[in-house]
């Protein structure tokens, strides 16, 4: 499902509002967002808004699996 997953960086490293930025592709669509405290905040476009084939909940589960090694 997810291709080319990129852990981009930790933003505000060491501060209370620290987030992990990531990006990836599904088919020809590029998605990116931030992860913090178990929650994903999406940039535009968001999974599930482009086509019905991309189910947001499935994408979020796959992202959490990919990002797990970076969570301290």
pTM of the model: 0.85
Q: What is the pLDDT of residue 66?
A: 93
Domain extent listing, the chain: 3-70
Rounded to the nearest angstrom, the gap between the alpha carbon of residue 8 and the centroid of all alpha carbons in its chain is 10
The mean predicted confidence, pLDDT, of the chain is 90
CB-count burial class (<10 Å; 0-12, 13-18, 19+) for 33: buried
What pLDDT band is residue 33 in, cutting at 50, 70 and 90? very high
């Amino acid at each position: 499902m997810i291709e080319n997953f990129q852990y981009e960086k930790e933003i505000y490293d060491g501060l209370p509002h620290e987030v992990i930025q990531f990006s990836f592709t599904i088919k020809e669509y590029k998605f990116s967002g931030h992860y913090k405290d178990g929650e994903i905040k999406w940039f535009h476009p968001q999974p599930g808004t482009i086509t019905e084939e991309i189910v947001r909940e499935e994408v979020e589960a796959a992202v959490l699996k990919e990002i797990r090694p970076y969570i301290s």
